Chain A
Amino acid sequence: MNGPGWMEIVLTIAVTVALAWPLGAYLARVWQGERTWLDPVLRPVERVIYAGCGVRADRSQGWLSYAASFLAFSAASFVVLYLTLRFQDLLPLNPQGFKGVSPDLAFNTAVSFVSNTNWQSYVPEQALSTFSQMAGLTSHNFLSAAAGIAVAAAMARAFAAHRGEGIGNFWADLTRITLYVLLPVSLVLAVAYIALGEPQTLLANVTAHTLEGGKQTIALFPTASQEAIKQLGTNGGGIFNANSAHPFENPNAWTNLLEIVSMNVLGYACVVAFGRIVLARKDARALVTVMALFVVAAASAIYATETQVPPAQAAAHVATDVSMEGKEVRFGAPSTAVWAAATTGASCGGVNAMLDSFMPLGGGVAMFMMQLGEILPGGVGSGLYGMVVMALIAVFVAGLMVGRTPEYLGKKVEAREIKYAMLAVLILPLAILGFTAVAAVLPVALKGLANPGAHGLSEILYAYSSASGNNGSAFAGLSANTPWWNTTLGIAMLLGRFAYVIPVFAIAGSLVAKPKLAATAGTFPTDGPLFVGLLVGVILIMGGLQFFPALALGPIVEHFQALQAVAAR
């Protein structure tokens, strides 16, 4: 650990949070259908889409109708993507001549990209055609992100309304978020990434004749265009197997910084936009504070673990105090640590190093961040609504202590909302711990493990935490491209996205109809340090504590084994 390392971690997070304010202000305008400088170009496109879809964009939907649209759109996306992957051999732009993807892998991958998880059971450069990457995956990177942000917009309207009915129009939200936010920002980022060294070509492979006379086949793809939205939309599905550890996906410190900033900035910006629309800017700032505190803490913890003496290096008498297995030289420990915290806090899932080779507690912190519910700052949109669920529980807990009906941002929080909130937050332990428990005793599941001992359990626990949290990163030693893993991880992703979001819609529907109350002397303030502390506690207890026994058997026991192994040298 050294000064520049700490500076890098703090500056990276500070820049991200600072940029969220202007982006959040812009996002709020887009959510509310206000004029933006892109209107002259994009309004006509919008009208064409609405006409083609047969929707009236100005008609606000009730929560059931909005939820039905969200689900119908996700279902259509799933079918189109599934068919694209299954029949990629019959589709154009398949220069490598790849076969159609197997049914279980196509199911897993289609669920994965539609649920904004982007878990990858396959080696992309050896399985997916250029067409599948572009028309299949790149487009769903946009759409699953836009759908998530749409739900956040609906939640903002629910809090802003006074005895309202509708929570907005899903098709308008989807279209406007895609056209006005994701597409232009991705376009700028993609061109920047090319300038900084990322490839962008439709040519497939180049054969190099190396200096020592060997041959090397170099896989190329339209990389930059997917990299931009992969990070911005907290998708995380790499165009290469090694994801952003691959030098084509992340060639240098500049791209690394841009990729970290872009994978968190929209998550924070959703909170800022929420605050503007609900007229609760200070409360939004408190939520951003909680999110950023966790990311700083996690990045610091991982930086500390990755600069311990690794047991294997001690065994080989290599006297260093940085764990470089699975890390790239251009990033080293600090860039890797801040990335790992940002990606697991944000349900992005892109990685710039192999988490499987992290020190035990480093991998454990990454796992823990996912288990806290992917709200720090969370996936785009999903982070905001997940955090609102936690905030509702926090004010409820505070209300119980003083015996008052709690309020949050001018809305009374009653039994109904809390029941829905609990329904949502119980999905994660159910999916993560349930599947992990079964997989830990099933030979067909255990065959996929790459590492013995406690680390093997960590691989299982990590996989289901990642899938259920819609994160998508992995302890990548796990051979997940088998019917068991593809199917169960697919189900975990479906639960994490859709079983979570339906109660969230119900909360929005319940809140929108309530009157907006003015704050009184008896209102618990939700913009100060007291609330920040309470919310941190609720997140740790609700999100974290239930996973502690499982973590104790995985990363924590492995940590003590590592200490013992180093001490024995």
Chain B
Amino acid sequence: MLAQARAAVVSTLFFTLLLGIGYPLLVTAIGQLAFPAQAGGSLIRDRSGQVIGSALIAQKFDRPEYLHPRPSAAGSDGYDASGSSGSNLGPLNPDLAKRMHKDADALRAQGVKAIPADAVTTSGSGLDPDISPANARMQAARIAAARGAPEAEVLRVIEAHVSPPLLGIFGQPTVNVLKTNLALDTALPRGEPPRR
């Protein structure tokens, strides 16, 4: 029995060092050397080097000239990138229907007719960096009006940022909100100059 105990303790400690310290540090070293951008969190910086956000993480947009991400249930105000979370509302929870109704009515008030599902649903992480192409196109008229630009120009920027599914089969087509907004600022500047 004592021999078993010794083997158990020694192996646990040895493997903790190997797998808990050695392995993650080795992977970190490889990642930082070979793929520093991804390993650092796919951060996007402005000209001065300040971090604007991560290409993989949704951030809050509610000005009319920007593409808006999906609603978010992460943190109390949404888009809390240090507290990812879905709403976890069940399909029949009255709070879910109420919230969707409110969001859908707000969109209809802007003149939107067909509302895509992702525009009124929160994502699993609350940090979904993407919206569906239909959701992006739905917002083109509002963005064009706010920027004083033709809608076709806005749509052109959006279409350039549609990522197709992998091999046409795996996953769904997406539009990355932050990257598209940066491109909109570059292509169709308005008011103060863009930060990038």
Contact = CB atoms under 8 A, between A and B. Distances in A.
Partners in one complex: yes
Interface of A: 4, 7-8, 11-12, 49, 52-55, 68-69, 72-73, 75-77, 80, 123, 125-126, 134-136, 138-139, 142-143, 171, 174-175, 178, 183, 186-187, 190-191, 194-203, 205-212, 214, 216-220, 222, 224-226, 240-242, 245-248, 251-254, 256-257, 310-313, 315-320, 322-332, 335, 351-354, 356-360, 450-453, 455, 458, 475-477, 558, 561-562, 565
A211 B181 contact: yes
17 contacts: A52-B11, A134-B20, A190-B27, A195-B38, A212-B60, A216-B79, A217-B81, A222-B27, A225-B24, A240-B125, A242-B85, A253-B166, A257-B170, A316-B97, A319-B114, A357-B86, A357-B89
B27 A358 contact: no
Contacts of A450: 88-90
Interface in B133-186: 165-166, 168-172, 174, 178, 181-182, 185
Nearest to A49: B14
B128 A320 contact: no
Contacts of A216: 53, 57, 59-60, 79, 81
Given A242-B124, A320-B117, A219 B91 contact: no
A473 to B, nearest CB: 12
A140 to B, nearest CB: 8
B56 A139 contact: no
B51 interface: yes
Contacts of A80: 12-13, 16
Contacts of B50: 209
B43 A332 contact: no
Contacts of A68: 1, 4
A316 B50 CA distance: 41
A452 B96 CA distance: 12
Contacts of A217: 80-82
Given A211-B61, A222-B27, A316-B100, A138 B19 contact: yes
Contacts of A315: 97, 100-101
B18 to A, nearest CB: 8
A328 B124 contact: yes
B124 A352 contact: yes
Contacts, number: 385
A53 B11 contact: yes
Contacts of B14: 49, 52-53
Given A191-B31, A562-B91, 15 more contacts: A8-B170, A75-B8, A135-B21, A175-B11, A187-B27, A208-B53, A208-B59, A222-B28, A225-B24, A241-B85, A324-B121, A329-B70, A329-B118, A455-B91, A558-B91
Interface pairs A-B: 10 shortest CB-CB:
A245-B124, A253-B171, A477-B88, A139-B20, A135-B20, A354-B86, A455-B90, A242-B125, A332-B172, A242-B84
A217 B41 CA distance: 12
Contact of A565 (B8, B92, B174, B195): B92
Contact of B100 (A53, A126, A187, A313): A313
Contacts of B16: 80, 135, 139
A209 B170 contact: no
Contacts of A256: 170-171
A76 B23 contact: no
A558 to B, nearest CB: 6
Contacts of A359: 91
A451 B94 CA distance: 9
Given A55-B7, A225-B24, A194 B59 contact: no
Given A72-B7, A198-B38, A326 B123 contact: yes
A72 B20 contact: no
A55 B10 CA distance: 11
Contacts of A77: 12
B7 A53 contact: yes
A313 B117 contact: yes
Contacts of B101: 315-317
A354 B89 CA distance: 9
B7 A451 contact: no
Contact of A330 (B38, B52, B171, B185): B171
B115 interface: yes
A194 B9 contact: no
A201 B41 contact: yes
B47 interface: no
A86 B168 CA distance: 48
B185 to A, nearest CB: 8
Contacts of A226: 24
Contacts of B109: none
Contacts of A195: 34-35, 38
Nearest to B7: A53
A175 B63 CA distance: 57
Contacts of A316: 97, 100-101, 103-105, 120
Specify which of B38, B82, B114, B131 lies most central, judged by the most chain A CB atoms within 10 Å of its CB. Answer: B82
Given A191-B30, A247-B128, A254-B166, A210 B21 contact: no
Contacts of B18: 139, 183
Contacts of A331: 171-172
Contacts of A174: 11
A326 B182 CA distance: 27
Contacts of A318: 100, 104, 115, 117, 120
Contact of A208 (B6, B52, B169): B52
A265 B107 CA distance: 44
Contacts of A202: 28
A313 B93 CA distance: 12
Contacts of A476: 85-86, 88
B92 A69 contact: no
A206 to B, nearest CB: 6
A320 B63 CA distance: 26
A422 B177 CA distance: 54
Contact of A326 (B35, B87, B127, B171): B87
B34 A72 contact: no
B186 to A, nearest CB: 12
Contacts of B6: 53-54
B117 A200 contact: no
Given A11-B169, A194-B35, A210 B59 contact: yes
Given A4-B165, A80-B16, A356-B88, A200 B28 contact: yes
A251 B31 contact: no
A328 B118 CA distance: 9
B81 A219 contact: yes
B94 to A, nearest CB: 8
Interface in B15-49: 15-16, 18-21, 23-24, 26-28, 30-32, 34-35, 38-43
